[in-house]
């Protein structure tokens, strides 16, 4: 009997699916049957490989060949060359931008070298829609172990010793949270998974749910055993349809296999999970707002205490953890607290998943040990800044976080160092900015987001953020004054101190951190009315250099508002009053005569 | 679908399913395993490399030998096809020529399991760019 000799792994993450990975999968499956390779080759749809920049990704096993930017039309060539003739399809291999050498084995790619995959251990490795692959990789063994060998207290003790902290942003010790929920007496408790990932540019939780949904279900069941809850709820945004679909498939399969439901593994433990949909409100990532939304009420936060661990969903004790936190649990139970706590820094153990986005070469999803430096993340894993521009800052923690700059490049990344640097870990979005990004505009961008997402319940957040936004708008329009900068700072601090929930308490962070790190840029905007990045439209002028202009009239003919005038063969002039700064003239000019001032 | 009724059930099921994942698990740490590369270009296939590869794959799984079997393109020794390169952990790769089905089994018995060399070794006459 012929044995399966090759596995072709095709990425089924959202990014790769958007570039036709479904068709690639279908083509492989059909071609394999056509070519009579069905008994030797197995095609597997997996979760995200993380290297979204070069998607769709196809990985050949066992030789670890990593094909990038594969199109459905390439499938036949890959089968003919790689599988049948044993030759790699070199044009689809990844080329190292530094050495210009083609790297066939993903183990040798800079992108993967420094990564340690714990929460993402199964992403890009198993088929998320097949529980058997999860079971084959130690799936549900941790649940079996705690149900048969460990008491809830002993299990919580392992989590506490591991040093795992909440991956949703706050960094609260996970074991401690579990213990608090366990100690509260109640007839019913709930295990809640926070999958309301709302930061702009963040997609860690989505990828875990899409690539390895069972690890979250298993961890929720373990939590149920520890805290005494028989019911789990996943709060997920309806705008994550693929994650929802895979989660549903996983729940159905787990029930069929008897791994969710009544009397799990004959131990008398009952646990089941339901999904609750969110409508995509940022504030619902805050745990009290999340709970109210699940109860069918307005997604508004309430004052803590009482904490959800004491009084949460329907007034019952509820343990709320983030997706990535849960994904770490089964491995910790199997491999032990010591193994986990050996990774990372003194107070931040383990790894963190980051979504790299912005002006960086390797946009994608990475998992790195705590304590890695920003420089390693940006220049080694991320492959540096796009188009060889200069690095300016990176925003961590989304709209609640702050900017890290050049001077933080060698700071080890962990919860405490990031807070000391004026930012925060957040859920793991990392938006990289280069010299063309204006820091005032970035702060304005994030603030616009929080203004829109503020629930409006408390005035500091509802009114204060709006005022902050207006001042920033003034500054970017060149109408700001030095007093405005003081006002920005004072108002920010008031909002931070007096807002009801985490959203308002952190929303001025981008303003404060950009003011602290880039005071010169703010000053330039208000004093000399200049934007050095050239991104504030009101502060820039398109100017025609009379020495280079030959009077071809091309710009004048293309100007949509007729702001350019001049005689033929004579230098032209732009009327700054009329100019809408669209840049069409500069694009058209063949003589390099138009500049931005 | 039969439900999993105990941890023993789950462990048994995992044992069965792990085999299906093994190919992928192994490729996570190929350097610590015996690696067999079968040259499978036109010349190799014409001389029976496919059958040879089959022998390796089947024997390894039958005898529970932890190894990765992959194919490569033409190694240039077309006169000695099928050729097979075997790398044992910590050792330099050794290339064997004229490997037919019989010799494949012999290679497993002698070289892989007992470190005895077998006839038909092709001496290394090139430098690899990895080592430069």
CATH number at residue A430: 3.10.20.600
Query: Taking the CB of residue A81, how many other CB atoms lie within 10 A of it?
Result: 17
| A199: confidence class by pLDDT, cuts 50, 70, 90 | confident
**By C-alpha distance, which of A327, A246, A335 is closest to A47?**
A246
- The tally of CA atoms less than 13 A away on the side-chain side of residue A375 is 7
Whether A174 contacts A165, CB under 8 Å: yes
Domain's final residue, options A528, A559, A582: A528
One domain, residues A497 and A430: no
Minimum-distance CB partner of B4 among A85, A145, A259: A259
Would you say residue A402 lies in a domain? Answer: yes
Q: Is residue B91 part of a domain?
A: yes
Question: Long-range pairs for A16-25 at CB < 8 Å and ≥24 separation?
Answer: A16/A48, A16/A49, A16/A52, A16/A55, A16/A56, A16/A57, A17/A242, A19/A55, A19/A56, A20/A56, A20/A71, A20/A72, A21/A55, A21/A56, A23/A72, A24/A56, A24/A58, A24/A70, A24/A71, A24/A72, A24/A74, A24/A75
Q: Which residues of B touch A137 (CB under 8 A)?
A: 18, 21, 25
Q: What span, in angstroms and rounded, lies between the C-alpha atoms of A231 and A237?
A: 20
Q: Is residue B17 situated within a structural domain?
A: no
Give the Cβ contact number of residue A187 at 10 Å. Answer: 6
Cβ contact A229:A189 at 8 Å: yes
Distance from CA of B119 to the nearest CA of A (A): 25
Question: Domain for residue A449, yes or no?
Answer: yes
Give pairs for A28-34: CB < 8 Å, separation 24+.
A28/A75, A28/A78, A28/A79, A31/A75, A31/A76, A31/A79, A32/A79
* Cβ-nearest to A137 among B3, B13, B21: B21
Q: Does A144 touch chain B (CB under 8 A)?
A: yes
Residues A318 and A242 in one domain: yes
Average pLDDT over residues A533-562: 90
- Name residue A564's beta-bridge partners: A574
Angle between helices A323-335 and A152-162 (to 10 degrees): 100
pLDDT at B131 over 70: no
Residue A6 with chain B: CB contacts under 8 Å: 23
Contact B38 A4 (CB under 8 A): no
pLDDT of residue A3: 75
Of B3, B40, B44, the CB nearest to A258: B3
Distance CA B110, CA B103 (A): 10
Over pLDDT 90: what percentage of chain B? Answer: 2
Helix axes A141-149, A323-335, angle to 10 degrees: 60
Model confidence at B1: pLDDT above 50: yes
Residues 6+ apart with CB under 8 A from A408: A374, A421
> pLDDT tens across A248-288, in order?
999 999 999 999 999 999 999 999 999 999 998 999 999 99
Question: Is A88 within the bounds of a domain?
Answer: yes
Contact A148 B13 (CB under 8 A): no
Which long-range CB contacts under 8 A does A146-152 form with residues at least 24 apart? A146/A222, A146/A225, A146/A226, A146/A333, A147/A225, A147/A264, A147/A265, A147/A267, A147/A269, A147/B7, A148/A265, A148/A267, A148/B7, A152/A182, A152/A225, A152/A226, A152/A227, A152/A228
Mean predicted confidence (pLDDT) in A509-528: 94
Per-residue model confidence as pLDDT tens digits over A63-116 = 889 999 999 999 999 998 888 877 889 899 998 877 888 887 887 888 888 899
Distances (CA, A) of A196 to A205, A324, A514: 8, 12, 27
More confident residue, B55 or B30: B55
Query: Is residue B105, in this structure, part of any structural domain at all?
Result: yes
CATH number for the domain including B106?
3.40.30.10
Ranges A177-186, A438-447, A537-546, B68-77: which has the least confidence: B68-77
In chain A, the largest separation of any two C-alpha atoms, in whole Å, equals 91
pLDDT in tens, A40-61: 899 999 999 989 888 899 999 8
The average pLDDT across B91-100 equals 88
Q: Cβ separation of B4 and A257 shorter than 8 Å?
A: yes
Verify whether the Cβ–Cβ distance B21 to A266 is below 8 Å.
no
Q: Mark whether A184 and A292 lie in a shared domain.
A: yes
Task: State which residues form the domain around A474.
Answer: 439-528
Position B52 in a domain: yes
Whether A556 and A518 map to the same domain: the answer is no
Binned at pLDDT 50, 70 and 90, residue B129 comes out as: low
Q: Rounded to an integer, what distance in angstroms lies between the CA atom of residue A411 and that of residue B89?
A: 38
Please report the pLDDT score of residue A253 as a whole number.
96
Is it the case that residue B132 has pLDDT exceeding 50? no
Whether A101 has its CB under 8 Å from any CB of chain B: the answer is no
User: What's the whole-number mean pLDDT along residues A359-364?
Assistant: 91
pLDDT for A366 beyond 70: yes
Higher-pLDDT residue of B16, A453? A453
DSSP labels, A302-334: --SSSPTTTS-GGGS-EEEEEHHHHHHHHHHHH
| pLDDT given for residue A427 in this prediction | 84
H-type alpha helices, A212-310: 213-227, 241-256, 287-294
Q: Is A526 helix (H, G, I), strand (E, B) or coil?
A: helix
The whole-number pLDDT of residue B88 equals 86
pLDDT band at B130 (very low <50, low <70, confident <90, very high): low
Helix or strand (DSSP H, E) at A511? helix A509-517
Q: Which three-class secondary structure state does DSSP give residue A7? A: strand
Stretch A158-164: mean pLDDT: 96
Model ipTM over 0.90: no
- pLDDT score of A242 more than 50: yes
- Which of A392, A537, A517, A427 has its CA nearest to residue A473? A537
- CB contacts of A101 in chain B (<8 Å) are none
pLDDT tens readout for residues A459-503: 999 999 999 999 999 999 989 999 999 999 999 999 999 999 889
Which CATH number characterizes residue A460's domain?
1.20.1440.230
Give a yes or no: residue B53 inside a domain.
Answer: yes
State the total domains in chain B: 1
The answer as to whether B18 is a domain residue is: no
Residue B4's nearest CA partner among A487, A218, A509, A296 is A218
Residue-level pLDDT at A1: 44
* Nearest one of A119, A70, A277, A265 to A193, comparing CA atoms: A277
What span, in angstroms and rounded, lies between the C-alpha atoms of A440 and A442?
Answer: 5
The verdict on residue B21 lying in a domain is no
C-alpha to C-alpha distances, A126 to A18, A106, A328, A356, B25, nearest whole angstrom: 20, 17, 17, 23, 10
Residue B66 has pLDDT above 70, yes or no: yes
CB-CB contact of A510 with A424 (8 Å): no
Which of B5, B21, B53 should we substitute to test contact with A (largest number of A Cβ atoms within 10 Å)?
B21
pLDDT tens by residue, A566-596? 999 999 999 988 998 888 998 899 999 998 8
Please indicate, yes or no, whether residues A325 and A371 belong to a single structural domain of this protein: no
Q: What is the mean pLDDT of residues A112-137?
A: 92
Tokens of B119: 């006839």
- Is residue B118 domain-resident? yes
- Tokens linked to A307: 């904490």
Helix (H) or strand (E) holding A397: none
Contact B41/A85, CB-based, under 8 Å?
yes
Give yes or no for A132 touching B (CB within 8 A).
yes
* Neighboring chain A residues of B83 at a CB cutoff of 8 Å: none
Model pLDDT, residue B116: 84
d(CA A155, CA A140): 15
Lowest mean per-residue pLDDT among A308-322, B22-36, B116-130: B116-130
Instruction: Say if residues A435 and A544 touch (Cβ distance below 8 Å).
Output: no
Answer yes or no: is A120 within a domain: no
Same domain for A477 and A586, yes or no, is no
Nearest C-alpha neighbor of A286 from the set A204, A400, A190? A400
Helix axes A213-227, A152-162, angle to 10 degrees: 120
Q: How confident is the model at residue B35, as a pLDDT?
A: 87
Whether the bond into A305 is cis, omega within 30 of 0: yes
Q: Is the domain of A402 the same as that of A478?
A: no
Q: B14 and A135: CB-CB below 8 Å?
A: yes
In the listed set A384, A419, A434, which residue is the last one of a domain according to the structure? A434
Average pLDDT over residues A29-39: 90
A63, A126, A136 member nearest B27 (Cβ): A63
Quick one: CA torsion of A248, A250, A255, A257, rounded to 10 degrees? 160
- Count of domains observed in chain A: 5
Cα Rg of chain A, angstroms:
27
User: Which residues, in sequence order, are CB contacts of B44 under 8 Å at separation 6+?
Assistant: A86, B38, B74, B81, B82, B83
The yes-or-no verdict on residue A191 having pLDDT over 70 is yes
Question: Does one domain contain both A158 and A245?
Answer: yes
What pLDDT is recorded for position A432? Answer: 94
Q: Do A391 and A281 sit in the same domain of this protein?
A: no
Residue where the block lists tokens 């020495």: A547
Secondary structure, 3-state, B23-82: HHHHCCCHHHCEEEEEECCHHHHHCCHHHHHHHHHHHHHHHCCCEEEEEECCCCCHHHCC
| pLDDT, averaged across chain A | 92
Q: Is residue A113 part of a domain?
A: no
Indicate which CATH number applies to the domain containing A18: 3.40.30.10
Q: Which of A74, A108, A142 corresponds to the end of one domain?
A: A108
The number of C-beta contacts closer than 8 angstroms across A and B is 99
């Amino acid at each position: 009997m012929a044995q399966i000799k090759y596995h072709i792994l095709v990425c089924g993450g959202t990014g790769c699916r958007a570039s036709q990975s479904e068709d690639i999968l279908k083509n492989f499956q059909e071609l394999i049957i056509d070519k009579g390779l069905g008994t030797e080759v197995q095609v597997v749809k997996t979760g995200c490989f993380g290297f979204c920049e070069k998607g769709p990704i196809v990985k050949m096993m066992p030789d670890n060949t990593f094909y990038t930017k594969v199109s459905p039309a390439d499938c036949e060539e890959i089968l003919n060359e790689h599988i049948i003739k044993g030759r790699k399809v070199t044009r689809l291999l990844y080329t190292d931008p530094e050495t210009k050498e083609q790297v066939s084995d993903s183990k040798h790619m800079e992108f993967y070298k420094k990564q340690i995959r714990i929460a993402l251990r199964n992403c890009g490795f198993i088929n998320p829609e097949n529980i058997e692959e999860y079971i084959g990789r130690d799936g549900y063994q941790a649940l079996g172990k705690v149900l048969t060998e460990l008491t809830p207290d002993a299990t919580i003790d392992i989590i506490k010793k591991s040093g795992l902290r909440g991956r949703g942003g706050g960094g609260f010790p996970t074991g401690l949270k579990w213990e608090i929920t366990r100690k509260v007496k109640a007839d019913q408790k709930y295990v809640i998974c926070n999958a309301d990932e709302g930061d702009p540019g963040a997609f860690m939780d989505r990828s875990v749910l899409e690539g390895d949904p069972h690890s979250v279900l298993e961890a929720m069941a373990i939590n149920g055993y520890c805290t005494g809850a028989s019911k789990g709820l996943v709060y997920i945004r309806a705008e994550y349809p693929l994650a929802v679909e895979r989660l549903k498939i996983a729940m159905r399969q787990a029930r069929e296999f008897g791994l969710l439901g009544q009397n799990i593994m004959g131990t008398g433990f009952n646990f089941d999970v339901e999904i609750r949909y969110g409508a995509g409100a940022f504030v619902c990532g805050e745990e009290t707002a999340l709970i109210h939304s699940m109860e069918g009420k307005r997604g508004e936060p309430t004052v803590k205490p009482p904490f959800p661990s004491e009084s949460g969903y329907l007034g019952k004790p509820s343990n709320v953890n983030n997706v990535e936190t849960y994904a770490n649990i089964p491995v910790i139970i199997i491999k032990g607290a010591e193994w986990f706590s050996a990774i990372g820094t003194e107070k931040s153990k383990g790894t963190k998943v980051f979504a790299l986005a912005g002006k960086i070469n390797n946009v994608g999803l990475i998992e790195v040990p705590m304590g890695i430096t920003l420089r390693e993340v940006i220049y080694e894993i991320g492959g540096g800044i796009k188009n060889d521009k200069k690095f300016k800052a990176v925003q961590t923690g989304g709209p609640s976080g702050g900017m890290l700059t050049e001077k933080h490049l060698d700071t080890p990344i962990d919860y405490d160092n990031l807070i000391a640097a004026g930012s925060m870990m957040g859920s793991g979005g990392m938006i990289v900015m280069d010299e063309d990004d204006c820091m005032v505009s970035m702060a304005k961008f994030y603030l616009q987001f929080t203004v829109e997402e503020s629930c409006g319940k408390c005035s500091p957040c509802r009114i204060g953020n709006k005022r902050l936004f207006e001042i920033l708008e003034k500054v970017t329009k060149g109408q700001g004054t030095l007093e405005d900068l003081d006002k920005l700072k004072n108002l920010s601090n008031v909002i931070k101190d007096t807002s009801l929930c985490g959203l308002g308490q952190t929303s001025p962070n981008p303003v404060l951190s950009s003011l602290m790190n880039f005071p010169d840029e703010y000053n330039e905007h208000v004093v000399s009315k200049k934007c050095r990045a050239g991104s504030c439209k009101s502060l820039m002028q398109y100017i025609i250099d009379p020495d280079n202009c030959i009077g071809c009239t091309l710009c004048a003919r293309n100007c949509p508002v007729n702001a350019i005038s001049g005689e033929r063969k004579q230098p032209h002039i732009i009327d700054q009053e009329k100019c809408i700064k669209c840049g069409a003239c500069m694009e058209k000019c063949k003589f390099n005569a138009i500049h931005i001032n | 679908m039969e439900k999993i009724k105990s941890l023993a059930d789950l462990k048994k099921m995992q044992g069965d399913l792990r085999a299906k994942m093994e190919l992928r698990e192994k490729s996570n740490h190929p350097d610590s395993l015996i690696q067999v590369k079968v040259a499978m270009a036109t010349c190799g296939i014409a001389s029976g490399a496919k059958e040879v590869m089959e022998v390796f794959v089947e024997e390894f799984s039958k005898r529970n030998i932890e190894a990765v079997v992959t194919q490569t393109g033409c190694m240039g020794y077309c006169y000695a096809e099928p050729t097979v390169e075997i790398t044992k952990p910590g050792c330099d790769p050794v290339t064997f020529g004229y490997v037919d089905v019989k010799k494949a089994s012999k290679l497993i018995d002698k070289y892989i399991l007992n470190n005895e060399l077998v006839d038909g070794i092709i001496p290394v006459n090139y430098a690899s760019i990895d080592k430069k």
